[in-house]
Structure 1
Amino acid sequence: MKVLVHREFKKHGVDVRSIEQPTYSIHKKDPNDFLINGLMELLDQYQRLEIALKLGRGRSKKAQQGGYAGGRATFGYKANKGQKCIQVDEKQAKTVRRVFQLKEQHPSWTLTQIAESLNEEGFTTQQGSMFTKVQVKRILDRRDFYSGTYRYGDIEAEGLHQAIL
């Protein structure tokens, strides 16, 4: 990829300047510059991979202990900085409970019908929008999570989060 970019730069007379290598130029034919630039790229890539591996290990360890391993908090919860687990968002939790109530009371209802009922009752999504069948499905698909089980990849553990259902 980089070779193609350099080729385009050369074609249009554009040069690359580097803070780490102030004398580097893509127009020089110096093999030393080529070698040093290649090594710097390899080291950068190695560092990115190493950081990703460490972060992944940390998230897996946290998940094995039932802690929330990151990303946007599941609807019904909020992630507060500095806290070890996610907290129940009471307004959203009320919506989650209502979704499961509707599904239980009307087992033959479609996801669209559940969404329409939520909208008629004044419930809204995280963004304050009306519910759609997709959002209802996401909630229904996370029954285990709302019951206290935490999953992250292949890891399943008793969650540190408070169950909503």
Structure 2
Amino acid sequence: MKVIGYIRVSTQGQARDGYSLAYQEDEIKAYCQAQGYTLLRLFKDEGISGAKVDEEALEVDRLGFQEMLEYLTHHEVDYVVTLNTSRLWRSDIVKVLVHRELKKFGVDIRSIEQPQYSIHKKDPSDFLINGLMELLDQYQRLEISLKLGRGRNKKAQQGGYAGGNVALGYKVKKGKKACHR
């Protein structure tokens, strides 16, 4: 079987530190070796949400993902191997778009953590289990976003620097409070 791999992390911090990307890559390589798959290439998106979509063009708005689709136009591939489906999508609309694009090429997904996952199978039990896993992925994304927002708001209420660029005419001092120049 000829396969390609896909890895993704959501934040620039995860991408910079590299642990999560390296872990995903190692897991994919070990899985492919154990399964006897030929890993042709690995695609990655660093520091970008799995829910990012270009709604006007109705396409997944990630450079690594788009490179993967371009690769599929020129190479015969059986599977996209990923640690779990949350690396490919974190929202319903992105899931539908990923399925649409992979089906065009007759490619299926092999998820290491969800071994029964397939975009082509119609087994009711698998459909239910995979649907629940996808709902949990979306729930987790929303929960993380909510917690991060609360943390930034609390820090700002306490006079701290809550992220983003410093407003024009201000600079950040060591205590991470924005002060007028």
TM class, shorter-length = 0.3 to 0.5
Quick check: which one's strand share is greater? 2
Q: Which has the higher contact order (CA 8 A, sep 6+)?
A: 1
Whichever of the two has the greater Rg, that structure is 1
TM-score of the pair, normalised by structure 2: 0.42
